[in-house]
Amino acid sequence: MIKFLVEFFGAMSLFLAIAQLSSNRLNLSIKIYQLQSVFLSMSILFIGIATFEFELYISSFLNLLIKAILIPFFLFKVVEKIKLDREVSMYLNITNSLLFSILIVIFAFYISNKIDITGEVIAKQIFPLSLGIIFIGIFIMISRKKALSQIIGFLTMENGILLAGTSLTKGMPMIVEIGVFFDVFVGVLMAGVLVFQIKTTVESIDTSRLSDLKE
Amino acid sequence: MENIVIGLLQFVILVAISPFIKTFIHKIKCILRGQKGPPLTQAYKDIYRLFKKETVISKDASFISRMAPYVVFVSTLWAATFLPVINKYTLLNFTGDIIALAYILALGVFFIALYGMDQASAFGGLGSSREITIAGLSEASFMLIIFTFALQTGSTNIGEIFEKVHQFGISHVPVSVAFALISLFIVSLAENARIPFDNPETHLELTMVHEAMILEASGRHLALFELSSYIKLTIFLTLVSNLFFPVGFYKDTSILFIILGVVVYILKMLLFAVPVTLIEMGMAKFRFFRVPEILILAFILSLISLIIS
């Protein structure tokens, strides 16, 4: 039953990563990321229950606090400050990127069949799911034009890495995990400040306009 | 003989409960908005009132307009006779499987679209073209979900699929089940004209899909259309609840188990009606050109669930 719940919440995280590709507003993207973080911390919590590791409870709680509350709160503030610039613009349109995501997921399942994982594994399907989340995060980073969407792509990728790491190793040492969480948080803060800088320089957060020449 | 009685009982339960489910969804929406809402028997009263009224048909209407309400209603009832509710013996168990159910429902969609275009009203044609677009796009994901479960259970007979799913329990193939659940939920909302795709309550010209097609209908014809849309919603909810919440589907045919099955069935239907309500409360209707993107999302999810099953 616990194995089912771990895999179910992992699958919901992958679903939300795919749904991230279909969002056309920055607000909606942040909300989807928030929900994904909630599902991710549920999954980590159930891994913790399955393996009786106390540190995973703390990790799950920190994940909920930082990724589901603090980072979305900050990103909503950024979206509020940069008015009139709320649409997601992209190099590949929504339908095509959704169709591309099926190839990504198939690729993730294919290569994880080739990898031979030794040792005790809690839920076998969680590794290909988290690989899928990582690849979709990278795909969001390279296919979106706006700086804020690229931040969300990075965060999605980071969620996938955390899920893969936790499911394979029963959690990294506590000090490393806390370091990673604050690294992500500070990274997002700095990226948010950079977004304001881009906004003041080129009057938009569209990164493709950074390469335009100015007199 | 016993099997026929059970089949008839399941059919009658499904048809009898369907207006109640529709009113239940409406009632919860009203309560969440802070309104009082209609009494839970409102849909039965509406149908009764409409049956008593006179039917008016436009002078431009051909025989299609006289025929279509009955074809739509009969095809929906026909699909309902395939669907096991609490036991695997249904009335037409031996003649068709789950693929037949999907395409008999599609026959109803075809005739309702013809009815919309028949009376030479501009709204009707608009509604028909939208309905066919949505139905055509959601068809593929629905078939892929059916194939997912057919592959897992080794049969396309609905009774056997439900029985195997209930034997295994939900934790047999969890990952693909999660994707199939979301995909089937999106498809159900699209096929039944619920909120992200169409608003069943509005008669605003630009946004209606299902209502636009039956705008010209009145009296008995309108009652038949409304009743068949209620039954279609109940068919989809039954399918979702029996596939993803495997409780209350018994082999035993004693009276006690039948009563238990019916009670569990009604509770399950009310449970699965709640997410529909919450989505209708939390979301606005999508722009029509956004609908294909969401249906592509459903298609992708069903394809993933088929591949990793």
Write down the pLDDT at residue A142. 93
B125 class by beta-carbon count within 10 Å (0-12 exposed, 13-18 middle, 19+ buried): middle
B202-226 pLDDT tens trace: 777 677 888 888 888 888 999 999 9
B-chain CB neighbours of A4 within 8 Å are 170-171, 174
B179: exposed, middle or buried (Cβ count in 10 Å: 0-12, 13-18, 19+): buried
Q: Check if A156 contacts B (Cβ < 8 Å).
A: no
Distance CA A19, CA B298 (A): 10
Mean pLDDT, range A47-69, rounded to an integer: 90
Residue with tokens 């969300």: A152
CB B306 within 8 A of CB B144: yes
Domain boundaries defined on chain A: 2-88+116-204
Minimal CA separation from A111 to chain B, in Å: 13
Domain count of chain B? 1
Average pLDDT over residues A115-140: 87
Number of Cβ within 10 Å of residue B94's Cβ equals 8
A177 SS3 class: helix
Rounded to whole angstroms, what are the CA distances from B71 to A111, A182, B55, B193, B214? 51, 64, 17, 19, 14
CB B280, CB B32: distance < 8 Å: no
Among the listed residues A58, A60, A54, the one whose alpha carbon sits nearest the alpha carbon of residue A5: A60
Q: Is the pLDDT of residue B68 over 90?
A: yes
A3 vs A6: CA distance, rounded Å: 5
* Residue A91: how many other CB atoms lie within 10 Å: 11
Asked if A95's CB is within 8 angstroms of B296's CB, the reply is yes
Taking only the tens place, the pLDDT of each residue in B25-46 is: 999 999 999 999 899 999 999 9
Residues A20, A101: Cα–Cα separation, whole Å:
11
Tell me what ipTM this predicted complex has.
0.89
Q: Tell whether the model's pLDDT for residue B156 goes beyond 80.
A: yes
pLDDT digit string, tens, across residues B138-155: 999 999 999 998 988 888
**More confidently predicted of B302 and B288:** B302
Cβ distance of B293 and A12 shorter than 8 Å = no
Give the whole-angstrom CA distance, residue A45 versus residue A66. Answer: 15
Please report which residue ranges of chain A form alpha helices under DSSP H: 2-21, 26-51, 54-63, 71-81, 94-114, 126-143, 147-169, 174-202
**More confidently predicted of B271 and A210:** B271
A94 in contact with B at a CB cutoff of 8 Å? Answer: yes
Q: Does B304 touch chain A (CB under 8 A)?
A: yes
Residue B231 pLDDT class (50, 70, 90 cuts): very high
pLDDT of residue B171 exceeding 70, the answer is no
Per residue in A92-109, pLDDT tens?
999 999 999 999 999 999
Compute the residue count for chain A: 215
* pLDDT value at residue B170: 63
Give the lowest-confidence range in A89-98, A173-182, A205-214, B298-307: A205-214
- Assess B175–A contact: CB distance below 8 Å, yes or no: yes
- The rounded distance, in Å, linking the Cα atoms of A86 and B280 is 24
Q: Does residue A129 sit at the B interface (CB-CB below 8 Å)?
A: yes
By CB atoms closer than 10 A (0-12, 13-18, 19+), residue B160 is middle
Q: What is the pLDDT of residue B194?
A: 87
Tokens representing B265 are 């069935």
> In this structure, what DSSP letter does residue A212 have?
S
Which pLDDT belongs to residue A214? Answer: 67
Q: pLDDT digit string (tens) for B239-267?
A: 999 888 888 777 777 888 889 989 999 99
Q: What's the pLDDT score for residue B288?
A: 86
Angle at A36 between CA A164 and CA A167, to 5 degrees: 20
Are the CB atoms for B22 and B233 separated by under 8 Å?
yes
Which tokens belong to B75? 């095809």
Please report residues of A whose CB lies closer than 8 A to that of B182: 15
Q: How much of chain A exceeds pLDDT 70, in percent?
A: 98
Asked if pLDDT for residue A70 goes beyond 90, the answer is: yes
Q: In which band, very low, low, confident or very high, does the pLDDT at B67 lie, cut at 50, 70 and 90?
A: very high
What is the pLDDT at residue B77?
A: 95
Please compute the mean of the pLDDT values over residues A175-197 and round it to a whole number.
89
